[in-house]
Chain A
């Protein structure tokens, strides 16, 4: 298993350009997530999906859109990139599992995409 993969690994954009980040997982996981990581702030959730065809907003969704047309793929789009979106983007996936109503299963993370917006 490759686990969770992300494409591309690095990208430089100019302000106003658009791009799509691809996340793929081969573990048949139901849930997938997109995070951004900024210095001193840990990871923050952008959007997530609890199954094929579903998406939901996370903590910092503005300026991003997502799609989950296939179970194994979760796409993150930037329609008009801004310098504030310079960050490292991580995708993660997991299978639902709970104990007493609390999530128990591990999220598996991809290697990240480093995006710079000039």
Chain B
């Protein structure tokens, strides 16, 4: 079965320090992978996506993620956290022939301390 595991339910960083949110996937096929962000009481916004092109994907707001097939990982990083980055982040996978259906990880809540 295909699945997504976010390794941390909560991450806390100080403003200006690097952010690392970890995601591992399980798939028998070549997946497309996404990171979405959800600010409190808001909908979901796409940060970035991997669709079998470049393995290092750059997204909005300075975020990037690297697809590592050998490690089945798609970790999200940002060099310097900003207070506005505090939100919940979801790693998501979709697969061929699924009509675009998404499988979500459990989410990682990012806190940013001043």
Residues in A lying within 8 Å of B, measured CB to CB: 4, 31, 33, 40-45, 48, 50, 56, 58, 90, 92, 94, 96, 98-107, 109-112
Contacts and interface: CB of A to CB of B under 8 A. Distances in A.
B100 A103 contact: yes
Contact of A109 (B43, B101, B106, B107): B43
8 contacts: A40-B106, A43-B90, A56-B99, A90-B44, A96-B100, A105-B100, A109-B36, A111-B42
A92 B43 CA distance: 10
Contacts, number: 78
B32 A104 contact: yes
Most buried by A among B49, B52, B96, B100: B100
Nearest to B99: A50
B32 A102 contact: yes
Given A90-B44, A102-B52, A106-B46, A31 B99 contact: yes
